[in-house]
Each structure stands twice: as structure tokens, then as C-alpha cells.
Amino acid sequence: MAKLLVAYASMTGNTEEIAELIVEGIKQGGHEVDLKSVTDCNASDVLDYDGFLIGVYTWGDGELPDEFLDFYEELDELDLSGKRAAVFGSGDTSYEQYCGAVDLAAAKLVERGAEVSPEMLKIEYSPMEQEKDTCRDFGKRFAAAGLQ
């Protein structure tokens, strides 16, 4: 059984909803998981887990949102070698940099040495009914991959 963290930044609740569905999927797979807002935890918290998933919405022109900046900068102090990670988030396809913050978060985790899943989950606004299982499966697959 893996012990995982899902940490997210969300202003209007869309990324939070994706995070909650991912948590549901992880639990369905029989794993342990904590769900935290990045405003209520430190980046170093990820070191207490077998793996972690970071969710972030995109702001400006493909930029990181303000409430994620402290967490993002704290990552610079961490050695994440060997830590499994995945990224997800909500965005809007009418912007040129669709879910650009998800890509920025992934790049930072790679830079810090994490083993970042090549599969990213990008959802437009909040998940539609048919996308909810996609979110649950994303969590379920990430948790299961750690046991192989």
C-alpha cells in the first residue's frame, strides 16, 4: 500500500474538484492519501510520502498562480531524487498556453530530481461527467504504478 499526497492550488474550485476525484481513485485502489491545499502545507511535506501529485490552475498568460508561488520556490530547496510525482490541473483552451502552469510545475519537479510521470492530466474548467472517471483513473494508475 502506498502513502500519497495530493496537493493543489485552486481559486474557483475546479482544480480542487479534480484533486478530490484523484483522491477517490487512489482510495478505490486501497491506498492511503492525504489531500492538502498548497496554502496549508509546505513543499517539504512531500518528503513524508511515497509519492505525490501536484495540481495547479493556470493564471496570466500560462503563468503560475500567486498562491502556488511559495510552494514552487520551496521546491528549490529539496532533493526529490527517487520521489515519484505527477501533475494535473485545470485551464481554459481559449488561452494560448493551455494549462501552462501544469507544464511549469512538471519542469520544476524534474529539475529537482523527481521521477515525474509522463502522463499529465489537463482538464478544461471542472471535470464533465464523463471526465470524472478519467480523474479517478489517473490517481488509481499513479498509485498502482508505484507497486511495480
Q: How far is the CB of 59 from ligand FMN (least distance, A)?
A: 5
Q: How far is the CB of 105 from ligand FMN (least distance, A)?
A: 13
| Closest to 57 in 3D by CA, of 86, 91, 108, 18 | 91
Q: Which residue has the cell 489537463?
A: 122
Among 38, 58, 86, 106, binds ligand FMN (CB under 6 A): 58
Q: Which is nearer to ligand FMN, 115 or 124 (CB)?
A: 124
- Residue pair 35/141 in contact (Cβ under 8 Å)? The answer is no
User: What gap in Å lies between CA 10 and CA 89, rounded to an integer?
Assistant: 9
Interaction between residue 59 and ligand FMN (CB under 6 A): yes
Interface of this chain with ligand FMN, residues 21 to 50, rule: CB under 6 A:
none
Residue, CB closest to ligand FMN:
91
Q: Which is nearer to ligand FMN, 52 or 59 (CB)?
A: 59
Q: Residue 60's beta-bridge partner residues? A: none
Among 5, 6, 7, 15, binds ligand FMN (CB under 6 A): 15
Interaction between residue 12 and ligand FMN (CB under 6 A): yes
The continuous run of DSSP H or E covering 9 comes out as strand 3-9
- Residue pair 52/87 in contact (Cβ under 8 Å)? The answer is no
Interface of this chain with ligand FMN, residues 84 to 143, rule: CB under 6 A:
90-92, 95, 97-100, 125
Residue 82, number of CB atoms within 10 A of its CB: 8
Q: How far is the CB of 117 from ligand FMN (least distance, A)?
A: 20
- In degrees rounded to 5, what are phi and psi of residue 52? -150, 155
The contact set with ligand FMN (CB under 6 A) reads 10-15, 57-62, 90-92, 95, 97-100, 125
